[in-house]
Amino acid sequence: MLFLHVLLAFILVAAVTMFWALVLGTRPGRPALTPGAAMWLGRAGAISVGIGSLGVLIFGIWLAIERPEYHPWDGWIIGSIVLWAIATGTGQKAGRLYQQAAMNPGEALTLRARGLRLQTVAAIALILLLVFMVWKPGA
Amino acid sequence: MTTLAAIRPDGAWEASLFLHVAGAMLLVGGLFVVSLSLIYAWRAKEDGEEAKIRRFAYLTLFFVVLPAFVAMRIGAQWVLSASPFSDNANWVGIGFAISDAGFVVLIISLILAGIGIRRMRTGGGQTGARVITVLSVALLIAYVVAIWAMTTKPS
């Protein structure tokens, strides 16, 4: 159970790493990737982020129920779920903005800037999530 | 959510564990980007497109995977020195074996990437790219085994 939870967390972070690589690889003016490659890699990232984010939550809650030393209502677990919601919500919105930027070159810079802000929020939420998992504040 | 609780006892070594796990996650993430980019490059029909994606993958290998490996490895040594676990435990041995072999494979991949970037100017380097693709996928599989060993701690 713990193996699956951690593995899915790795898949989630792998997808986020992919999205950051895509942000850098599709910069207007100096793209390191072709549009076709960016779309293909973006799809792979989207599939991975879907599997990783949902799976890590399900197995995480399962672990909190299964292990006698933890409870789903522990402060650090609730905090982690809130951070998970922030990370997935902002990450999804950032992805949509980047897709719109690819389809509307005229507004690409504005859309990408908004997407970058949201993606940064998602990344910070994920880092804090890992901090919660390691330090377990209040546990 | 309780995950990392089971891979650490209580203690004041959270920082080392954070460095180790964060480094490992970035390492796997970087390898994921490298592998998929090179798989796409392998399938690409245009030479120009293929070379562009290969370059992207090689830069990711150098600027993401290599530093992440260093962070993961330093974190591993630090967390082990501060932990109650024995250096001779089976799962620690599996972790070190995969990490050490992975470092050799990473260095080979980086050398091949360096050669590949030079050969790109003359339109070559495809064979090296394919070797790196196979090596990076093999590394990903090996790191999944390492995650299994770290979380299940087989005796």
Report the chain B residue with the minimal C-alpha distance to residue A64: B2
CB contact under 8 A, B49 and A134: no
B33 exposed, middle or buried (CB, 10 Å; 0-12, 13-18, 19+)? buried
pLDDT tens-digit profile, chain B (155 residues): 444 444 455 555 789 999 999 999 999 999 999 999 999 999 887 777 888 999 999 999 999 999 999 999 999 999 888 877 777 788 999 999 999 999 999 999 999 999 998 888 887 788 899 999 999 999 999 999 999 999 998 87
With contacts defined as CB-CB under 8 Å, which chain A residues touch B34? none
Q: Write down the pLDDT at residue B1.
A: 41
Query: Which of B1, B25, B29 is the closest to A61 by Cβ?
Result: B1
pLDDT computed for residue B11 by the predictor: 58
What's the Cα-to-Cα distance from B40 to each of A65, A125, B49, B55, rounded to whole Å? 41, 30, 10, 12
Distance from CA of B50 to the nearest CA of A (A): 9
CA distance A22 to chain B (A): 9
What's the ipTM?
Answer: 0.93
- What pLDDT is attached to residue B45? 79
Task: Output the pLDDT for position A73.
Answer: 92
Q: What is the dihedral of CA A44, A45, A50, A51, to 10 degrees?
A: 70
Hey, are the CB atoms on B49 and A63 less than 8 Å from each other? Answer: no
For the ranges A50-59, A77-86, B5-14, B95-104, the lowest mean pLDDT is seen at B5-14
- What does the pLDDT read at residue B2? 43
Is the Cβ of A104 closer than 8 Å to some Cβ of chain B? no
Diameter of chain B by CA atoms? 57
Whole-number pLDDT of residue B110: 96
Average pLDDT value for residue range A27-54: 91
A35 pLDDT band, cuts 50/70/90, is: confident
Contact list, B30 vs chain A (CB under 8 Å): 17
Nearest to B25 among A10, A18, A60 (CB): A10
* Amino acid at position B121, single letter: R
Domains of chain B as residue ranges with CATH: 14-152 (1.20.120)
Question: What pLDDT is stored for residue B10 in this prediction?
Answer: 52
Q: Is the predicted pLDDT of residue A74 greater than 60, yes or no?
A: yes
Task: From B99, B96, B119, B117, select the one nearest B107 (Cα to Cα).
Answer: B99
Cα–Cα distance for residue pair A61/A44, rounded to 1 Å: 26
Rounded-to-integer distance, Cα A53 and Cα A62, Å:
14
Residue pairs spanning A and B at CB distance below 8 A: 121
Interface contact flag, B32 A48, Cβ < 8 Å: yes
Which pair of tokens denotes residue B101?
Answer: 């072999």
Closest partner CB to B29 (pick from A16, A134, A136): A16
Is the entire prediction scored with pTM above 0.90?
yes
User: Which residue from A18, A37, A134 is facing B21, i.e. has the nearest CB?
Assistant: A134
> In this structure, which amino acid lies at residue A107?
E
